[in-house]
Amino acid sequence: GAVVSQHPSWVICKSGTSVKIECRSLDFQATTMFWYRQFPKQSLMLMATSNEGSKATYEQGVEKDKFLINHASLTLSTLTVTSAHPEDSSFYICSARDMRGYNEQFFGPGTRLTVL
């Protein structure tokens, strides 16, 4: 149980295009999902908290117009990187918190984004 999937697992795009990454909780409902960014050999940095049915909460320094987050249902959150540039290349990981209130986040396998 408690499986989180991400799609795609990797994506290569041209500079200036937009890329959408999906995060799904497969066997539980998640009122809250989190988006993280991880650079090579570094730790995870929280980008934003996604709440079902409401606007996402972004961490300081994260451009909300560049990283659009939509939490449309209790099992799906999407992250869209708009007008991507090479510096947006990174490993993006989502996590989901079970709405039953367990204090544990379940992580997706990550999406490797490369912007050329």
3-state secondary structure string across the chain: CCCEEEECCEEEECCCCCEEEEEEECCCCEEEEEEEEECCCCCEEEEEEEECCCCCEECCCCCCCCEEEEEEECCEEEEEECCCCHHHCEEEEEEEEECCCCCCEEECCCEEEEEC
- Tell me the closest approach of the beta carbon of residue 83 to another protein, in angstroms: 26
Give the contact letters, 19-48, x = binds to another protein (CB under 8 A), - = no: -------------x-x-------xxxxx--
Residue with Cβ nearer another protein (42 or 73): 42
Q: Residue from 13, 22, 49, 68 that binds another protein (CB under 8 A)? A: 49
Size of the site for another protein (CB under 8 A): 23
